[in-house]
Structure 1
Amino acid sequence: MGLFDRFVRWGESRRAKEARARELSGELASAVELYLEAEMPDEAARVLLLRADAEGSVEQRVAFCATAARTAASAELRKKALARKALLSFDVIRARGGPSLRSELERVAKELEEAGELERAAEAYVLAGDSEAEVRVLTEMGAIERLEERFKAAETEVRKARAVADVRRRIADLERCAERRAALEAAKAALAEREDEVVEAAVRSIRARLLTGTVVDLAIDGTKVRGALGEEVTLGRGDATIVVAARAVSRVHVRIKKSASGEAILEDLGTRNGTTLAGARIHGPIPIGAGLRVELGGEVPCSIVPAREGPEASMAPAGVIVEVGGARFVAPLGELHAGPWRVDRVVSGGDAFVVLRTPEGAPRPILGELSLAAEIELSAGDELKSARGGPVRLCVLGGGGGA
């Protein structure tokens, strides 16, 4: 060995001793530099891992582990540093909680797998939703029992996914066929088992357009009509079929219904301001006959006449036409005739629906290209025909308002 080589070796040995002394005194940063100058990368990597252990910041610990992996000459030490880095990264993701980026989880899972931390890698692949990679890692581990459990879980998930898809499809099909009540019942049953954003969105969409009130706006064979539905119709400021916005009117002021003989009658419901006919306050039910003109609360004119003329006569053959507050209502006092069909309001399971019924022998309504059931629930925007390619017989304009 030449003099120069002996001098270099002596210099490296001196730096190594100094690095060891700095390490023992806790000067780890200086120790790393001296180990590198002494061409001892594995010792430098080892001290970098010690620095990682001493750090309070997880991000700094991850950074030191990454630097140690790049510095180490030994494949074993490099693998150890990468494993420490991957484990720390995985712990950070799990501690963070909430949804993580799939790409971030997959990167950490791959690092764990390459570092030989197979159990943690399998956990990371589960969080990333990569079932194929999870099975690959479990197979490499020889975890037979966990593999069997995973296959059973996967089979269960597949069944659940199919069940959810079937429910979504069924709800969409029922909505297309205008069977909204059945669609809501199917959605309610599905949501009782598990939350599903798609099903919840479908429910909101159906309810937003569904007709539920006592007053509906329709176009029947081209004639616009505001129907006041029900066997009896009430007028009042609050909980009434037809809402009249006037302070002199009671919450439920008068009622129009059929008598036992089938005659339409008007009845004041014991109101404070009363109902007057030709200036006289009425008491008890009075027949509408050929028509009445009364004042509600002594100040709101209201006209009630039998529906005997024009297209409205065919819509409410036994009903009346009510004009109040500048609005006109057709009150069939039963089902509203809409071309060949009948419109009514029903309450089922706490929910109200405006239904369309097809009498026996009448053509079933056509919505788009679909022939519908004998009873359906109406939604705003429905356009129904009595024959494919024929004109629209019934158009649902929406729920009507008050007077």
Structure 2
Amino acid sequence: MSFFRRLFDTRARQALDAEVQGDLRKAAYLWVDMGDPGKAAELMTRLGEQAKNVEEKVQAWVDALRFMPPDREDGRRDLEARIGVAVLESARERGAVSADAKRKLVDAAERLERAEKWVEAADCYELLGRNEDLARCLEHAGEIERLEKVLETTHAKEQRDARLRRLVSEQEMATRVGARDVARRALREATLLAPSDPSIAEMLRRIEEKWPRGRRLKLDVGGARVGLVGSLPAVIGRSDADVVVRGGSVSRRHCEIARREDAVVVRDLGSRNGTLIAGVPIAGEIALSGPTEIGLGDDVSLRVSPGAQGIAIDVLRGLDRGERVVAGEAELRVAGLSATFVFVDDRAVMQPDAGVSVVLGAQNVAAGVDLLYGDVITVGGVRVEVLA
């Protein structure tokens, strides 16, 4: 604009007055109105320099960029760089956690790239976790050493992510076919690779809370309750026992059943009302020659039946009449069910007999099933539920 127009144009005087008074935005808009966007861009650039917070700086420089004539490339690059660096510094200080903060940081990175500020653009992409863009900008900047570290980290992350995907897929397949131990081990490894992933932690928590504890299990087999005890001796008593039998004459730990070589023996554990065979209290340890009725005091009686695949203990009289427990150290078999049960380490495993169909949930299963509380399994047409 000519000197004389500045001198006599009312808007020019208003713009100069506004500039003197510090109202740079008003002055800028007046210069734009007078057809001098370059002057307006200069004033808005100054306004951004004077601003006290990032938001005001960025807004002023965005307006300056909007006013800057297209042919002033150096000025436009300078403003792009100013905006990008301001947002980057704010993100370093405050973090880029929210979606809005990330969006602003992406915009800043793109502006810095246009301004050919490759290192600063790389810093933006690093905060965003965009390693491919980070590597590209470092390559432009010639930051070879940092680039090599990024590539190493990226390769390690890709390997970790690939392993994590394989583990999650492995646990999904294992869970479907009943191989819960395989699924649990896969999830435990996955949590080490991704400790902050809540979905993996939740999958592991769900399987761990349903995992049977100890070597005891209760089943509902076709409507009948059956207990499994995977160790001998098996203590029978009112509480704190492997086989819990309720009754007024039953001591907390009343007697125990054990194997001695090829014989099954019963031993009283100092009970208050005695362990009776044929109505006579036993003293010490008695070997059983076959199915034998045993009294626990006056009001509870059991039948103990030795077998090759577990010792069956049936409650004949008392509050738990009709219940059965099968105890042993190897494979256990439940009458009427075409499967065996075994406790392996901390697992309870059901193995169907050859050729017997097994359905776990809605999935046909061809091998053994690691049992969890709440499982419902159909074995050769018989419904089996694992009770908690």
TM-score range, shorter chain: 0.7 to 0.9
Letter in 2 for 1:171: Q
Aligned equivalent of 2:314: 321
2:351 maps to 1:372: no
SS at 2:263 equivalent: coil
Q: Determine helix, strand or coil for the equivalent of 1:240.
A: coil
Q: How does 1:175-214 map to 2 (within 5 A)?
A: 175-195=175-195, 196-212=197-213, 214=216
Task: Specify the SS of the correspondent of 1:53.
Answer: helix
Pairs within 5 Å for 1:225-374: 225-230=225-230, 231-236=232-237, 239-243=240-244, 252-258=252-258, 260=260, 262-265=263-266, 267-268=268-269, 270=270, 274-275=272-273, 290-295=292-297, 301-306=299-304, 318-322=311-315, 325-326=319-320, 328-334=322-328, 335-338=331-334, 339-346=337-344, 348=345, 352-357=346-351, 362-363=354-355, 366=358, 368-372=363-367
Amino acid paired to 2:253: H
Q: Which moved more, 1:162-171 or 1:197-206?
A: 197-206
Residues 1:10 and 2:4 aligned together: no
Deviations 1:348-378 (A, max 9, x none): 3xxx32123568xx557755444215xx522
Consecutive unaligned residues of structure 1, counting only runs of 5 or more, are 386-390
- Length-normalised TM-score, structure 1: 0.71
Residue deviations 1:289-323, cap 9 Å, x none?
A: 7423435xx9xx43312359xxxx9985x421136
* Residue 109 (str. 1) matches residue 109 (str. 2): yes
Partner of 1:118: 118
Residues 222-268 of structure 1 show CA distances to partners (whole Å, capped at 9, x for unaligned) of 46332141324335565433456899976x42233135363452523
Which fold has the larger relative contact order, with Cα–Cα distance below 8 Å and residues 6 or more apart in sequence? Answer: 1
* Paired position in structure 2 for 1:56: 52
**Distance in 2 of aligned mates of 1:329 and 1:97:** 63
Distance 1:86 1:79, change over 3 A: same
For 1:257, give the aligned amino acid.
I
Distance 1:324 1:235, change over 3 A: farther
Match of 1:72 among 68, 78, 89: 68
Asked whether 1:167 is paired with 2:167, we answer yes
Identity %: 21
Give the Cα–Cα distance (whole angstroms) in 2 for the partners of residues 247 and 11 of structure 1.
115
Structure 2: gaps spanning 5 or more residues: none
Is the contact between residue 87 and residue 104 of structure 2 (CA under 8 Å) also seen in structure 1?
Answer: no
CA 1:39–1:303 in 2, change beyond 3 Å: closer, same or farther?
A: same
Q: Deviations over 1:257-280 (max 9, x none)?
A: 135363452523x46xx3357999
Q: Distance in 2 between matches of 1:243 and 1:126?
A: 62
Q: Is the 8 A contact 2:240 2:253 kept in 1?
A: no
Report the CA distance between 1:111 and its aligned residue.
Answer: 2.7
Q: Quick one: structure 1 residues 240 and 98, their matched pair in 2 at CA, closer, same or farther if it must change by over 3 Å?
A: farther
Aligned residues between the structures: 366
After superposition, the Cα gap between the structure-2 partners of 1:118 and 1:333, relative to the gap in structure 1 and judged at 3 Å, is same
Distance 1:18 1:180, change over 3 A: closer
| Aligned: 1:137 with 2:132 | no
* TM-score in terms of structure 2 length: 0.73
Change (3 A) 1:371 1:16: same
Cα deviation, residue 182, structure 1: 3.4
SS of the aligned residue for 2:327 comes to coil
Q: Secondary structure at the match of 1:76?
A: helix
Q: CA deviation at 1:72?
A: 2.9
> Which position in structure 2 is the counterpart of 1:388?
none
How far has the Cα of 1:53 moved from its partner? 3.1
Residue 397 of structure 1 deviates from its aligned partner by 0.8
Q: Residues 108 and 124 of structure 2 are in contact (CA less than 8 Å); yes or no, is this contact kept in structure 1?
A: yes
